[in-house]
């Protein structure tokens, strides 16, 4: 077992693995940028509709250039998923060697699965550009179906509440990261110029604040769906943006949140260049 772990650590720390991790951060940033672009178009009264990330990916699949981008995104998202799976399996961060607790490892597996799913969606869209992909597009119906299935299971109501609270916790964690700016600890700041550090901090704070709003809204409505036994209350990223759009001063709130998501996309691109991986 010791030899297997050593081989796994060598593979996880290899040059190719590091390039996959950096490519994954680029793909993650691009996916958030796509959602933010669609949301900004809606906020400023242009044609379009609010989308989650699978829906945003489907938006670009109609052209040859879009399908080429999807191939690159599929590779990047797959690399990001492998990076998170490697950290979960080894029980430590690859960049610092810090040990990961059980809950953090569960979170890493969850992120790995989610980005694997996005990778599969990208690959599917390349070959089936004219057909709707399961899980893509209209996010609200997808959340309704998944929540309904979960609520029908034994103890399903409590499981959905637990998942909702975990999502709220992710929102609060993003708020903590924004306020403490501890995301800066992950970067090789000594290689960055003063202006780069300043803008990276701005992108990081704005991006984490936007994610805090989105995750907290999605988690609260998921808990509400389980409490009221009403799957239609469940929302995803697109649903959270829609809630903001329909609130008082909704256009301003939507524009600010979309700008924050765009900032998070740029934050991921800076991470791809300077993060320790």
Q: Where are the domains of the chain?
A: 2-274
pLDDT of residue 133: 45
Query: Cα dihedral sign for 2, 3, 7, 8?
Result: negative
Here the tokens at position 155 are 């103890």
CA distances to 19, 190, 267, 272 from 187, in Å: 16, 9, 11, 10
pLDDT of residue 51: 67
> Phi and psi at residue 187, in whole multiples of 5°?
-105, 155
pLDDT of residue 97: 59
Here the tokens at position 37 are 């672009």
pLDDT of residue 137: 46
Here the tokens at position 148 are 């309904």
Q: What is the 3-state secondary structure (H, E, C) of the chain?
A: CHHHHHHHHHHHCCHHHHHHHHHHHHHHHHHHHHHHHHHHHHHCCCCCCCCCHHHHHHHCCCCHHHHHHHHHHHHHHHHHHHHHHHHHHHCECCCCCCECCHHHHHHHHHHHHHHHHHHHHHHHHHHCCCCCCCCCCCHHHHHHHHHHHHHCCCCHHHHHHHHHHHHHHHHHHHHHHHHHCHHHHHECHHHCCHHHHHHHHHHHHHHHHHHHHHHHHHHHHHHHHHHHCCHHHCCCHHHHHHHHHHCCCHHHHHHHHHHHHHHHHHHHHHHHHHECC
CA distance 55 to 133: 9
Length of the chain: 277
Give residues with Cβ within 8 angstroms of 156, minimum separation 6.
Answer: 150
pLDDT of residue 31: 86
pLDDT of residue 186: 78
pLDDT of residue 174: 94
Give residues with Cβ within 8 angstroms of 56, minimum separation 6.
Answer: 31, 34, 35, 38
Enter the pTM of the model: 0.77
Place of tokens 């399908």: 67
pLDDT 10s digit of each residue in the chain, 277 long?
A: 555 556 555 655 567 677 878 888 999 898 888 888 888 877 776 656 666 677 677 777 667 777 788 888 888 888 888 888 888 887 766 565 567 777 888 888 888 888 888 888 888 877 765 554 444 444 555 556 667 777 777 777 888 888 889 889 999 999 999 999 988 887 887 888 888 888 889 999 999 999 999 999 988 988 888 888 777 777 777 777 778 877 877 788 888 999 999 999 999 999 888 887 6
Residue among 250, 253, 217 at smallest CA distance from 235: 217
pLDDT of residue 262: 94
pLDDT of residue 259: 93
Partners of 66 in the beta sheet? none
Give residues with Cβ within 8 angstroms of 186, minimum separation 6.
Answer: 95, 271, 275, 276
């Amino acid at each position: 077992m010791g030899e297997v772990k050593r081989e796994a650590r060598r593979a996880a720390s290899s040059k190719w693995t590091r390039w996959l991790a950096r490519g994954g951060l680029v793909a993650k940033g691009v996916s958030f940028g796509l959602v933010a672009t669609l949301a900004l178009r809606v906020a400023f009264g242009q044609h379009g509709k609010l989308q989650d990330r699978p829906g945003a990916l489907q938006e670009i699949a109609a052209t040859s250039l879009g399908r080429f981008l999807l191939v690159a995104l599929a590779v990047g998202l797959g690399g990001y998923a492998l990076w998170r799976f490697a950290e979960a399996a080894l029980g430590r961060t690859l960049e610092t060697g810090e040990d990961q607790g059980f809950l953090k490892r569960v979170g890493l597996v969850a992120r790995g699965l989610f980005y694997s799913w996005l990778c599969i969606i990208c690959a599917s869209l390349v070959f089936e550009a004219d057909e709707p992909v399961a899980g893509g597009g209209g996010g609200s119906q997808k959340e309704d179906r998944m929540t309904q299935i979960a609520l029908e299971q034994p103890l399903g109501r409590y499981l959905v509440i637990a998942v909702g609270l975990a999502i709220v916790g992710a929102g609060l964690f993003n708020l903590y990261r924004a306020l403490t700016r501890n995301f800066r600890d992950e970067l090789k700041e000594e290689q960055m110029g003063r202006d780069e550090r300043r803008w990276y901090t701005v992108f990081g704070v704005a991006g984490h604040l936007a994610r805090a709003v989105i995750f907290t809204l999605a988690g609260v409505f998921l808990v509400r769906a389980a409490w009221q036994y009403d799957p239609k209350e469940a929302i995803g990223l697109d649903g959270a943006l829609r809630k903001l759009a329909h609130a008082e001063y909704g256009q301003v709130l939507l524009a600010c949140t979309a700008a924050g998501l765009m900032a998070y996309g740029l934050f991921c691109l800076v991470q791809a260049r300077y993060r320790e991986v």
